[in-house]
Structure 1
Amino acid sequence: MSGKLLQLALDIDDTAVALKAAAAAADVVDIIEDGTVLCLAKGLESARELRAVFPDKDLLTDIRIARAGGKFARMCFEAGADRVSVVGESGLGVVLSACNVADEFGGGVEVELYEGWADEDIREFVNAGVQVLIVHRNRCDEAENKAVREQLQRLHSLVDGTSVKVTLAGGLNRETLRLFDGCPFDVAVVGSAITKAADPLAVAREIRDVLDSMS
């Protein structure tokens, strides 16, 4: 087994629908993501409801903080989040303030990387206390897939020997995941492939099997 984790992204604008999908796949997924869409549609009440239903699951509130890092992070942690997300373009000060609040709650910060990030940016994020770095596919074409594979290799060389994890997100399903076999990442984020499936648990199990078979 590869040890790669499966994160379920609930980018759904209806809390009841999101809870139903999460409940169906909960036995297979490692991390539940209170997706940006759900956060915007329902506010942090969605995080409170997810925490109440899944008290033992790792919960990410993906609000993509861009300003007032400490203030917004505190709101998320008070709502029950284990980790919050910050956009890398927000700058080191925002990341640091979010990390300081995360420390108060025993939580963590994830940074979504931006196009053209530099090695020094990664070193600064790691030194700030960031727990997870996110590589996000957008266009999902072969040229971008190649670039993402290269980014994953670069990140691995930069965070190797630290506790920082690397997350791969963006249009992932059982087929697209195989494009990244052999790449060094720790967490795969899967959303609609599971939440829109007729049988979310069956699809989650298939994706888990793919992850477990990866090198």
Structure 2
Amino acid sequence: MKLQAALDTLTLEQCIELLQETGHSVDIAEVGTPFIIEQGMAPVRVLKERFPHIEVLADAKIMDAGEFEADKCFEAGADIVTVLGVSYDETIEGVVRSAKKHGKKVMVDMIAVQDLAKRTREIDQMGVDYICVHTAFDIQSTGQKDPLEELKVVNQVIEHAQSAVAGGVKLSTIDAIAREGAAIVVVGGAICNAASRSETAREMKRHLQEENA
């Protein structure tokens, strides 16, 4: 299982500092959507240059012009690009074409998908690499969504892609998620806001490795 650090609200300098502290544990550095809105592809380029051993995910949440927008992300150095599961099939297929052209990967973000099992089955046939259940930031405190239960739904359905989970993952919940199994576990605030980011990332990675042993 890979540990992905979601970098959403930090400055580029703070992100570099965090990855210097946690790079021994973090497999994927996510340039989050707020970060992209603020600074475009610049953080993708810089982080890939500074940390070539870490995969960089551009959380572009593509919803239209799939191939064109994915091209821009991959050309900037992204290893993985996100597209929304609620997008048209043609958009997702365009992102897949771009990824194959560049030798990179696609993660489909299932945020706001209503019929998770049905849409997962459809997307799983499109050649994507990861299907990610995502509890939206805006509803994490409401208890409307359970990332573990949604992860179980995806794991029961997928035949080709691998699963991923994001949204509110913390040390107290990571064991249950790891037991269910996901190729990628995305952690944001639990690492970025920790008193010791290095130790927290190390501990989370240890939990994932133990469950995967």
The answer to whether residue 149 in structure 2 is matched with residue 150 in structure 1 is yes
C-alpha RMSD of matched pairs (Å):
2.0
Deviates more, 1:110-119 or 1:185-194: 110-119
Aligned to 1:105: 102
TM-score normalised over the length of structure 2: 0.89
**1:154-193 Cα deviation digits (max 9, x unpaired):** 2112224x3x111111111111323435323221111122
User: What's the secondary structure of 2:61's corresponding residue?
Assistant: strand
Taking the aligned partners of 1:137 and 1:29, their CA distance within structure 2 comes to 21
Aligned to 1:207: 204
Aligned to 1:124: 122
Does the aligned pair in 1 maintain the 2:5–2:188 contact within 8 Å? yes
Q: 2:81 aligns with which of 78, 81, 84?
A: 84
Taking the aligned partners of 2:93 and 2:85, their CA distance within structure 1 comes to 11
Taking every aligned residue pair, what percent have the same amino acid on both sides?
Answer: 29
Q: CA deviation at 1:13?
A: 4.5
Taking the aligned partners of 2:187 and 2:12, their CA distance within structure 1 comes to 18
Distance 1:150 1:195, change over 3 A: closer
Taking the TM superposition and a 5 Å limit, the aligned residue runs for 1:28-177 are 28-113=25-110, 114-138=112-136, 139-140=139-140, 144=144, 147-160=146-159, 162=160, 164-177=161-174
Taking the aligned partners of 2:122 and 2:151, their CA distance within structure 1 comes to 18
Q: CA deviation at 1:142?
A: 8.9
Taking the aligned partners of 2:9 and 2:154, their CA distance within structure 1 comes to 30
Distance 1:118 1:174, change over 3 A: closer
**1:77-130 Cα deviation digits (max 9, x unpaired):** 000001100111112111001110111000111111133234342232122111
- Alignment length, in residue pairs? 209
The answer to whether residue 21 in structure 2 is matched with residue 18 in structure 1 is no
Q: CA deviation at 1:135?
A: 0.5
Q: After TM superposition, which residue ranges in structure 1, 4 or more long, deviate above 4 angstroms?
A: 141-145
Q: AA paired with 1:29? A: V
Aligned to 2:185: 188
User: What's the secondary structure of 1:89's corresponding residue?
Assistant: coil
TM-score normalised over the length of structure 1: 0.89
**1:22-73 Cα deviation digits (max 9, x unpaired):** 2211111111111112111111011000111011221110010111111110
Distance 1:119 1:193, change over 3 A: closer
Runs (5+) with no aligned partner, structure 1: none
Taking the aligned partners of 1:80 and 1:199, their CA distance within structure 2 comes to 29
Taking the aligned partners of 2:147 and 2:195, their CA distance within structure 1 comes to 30
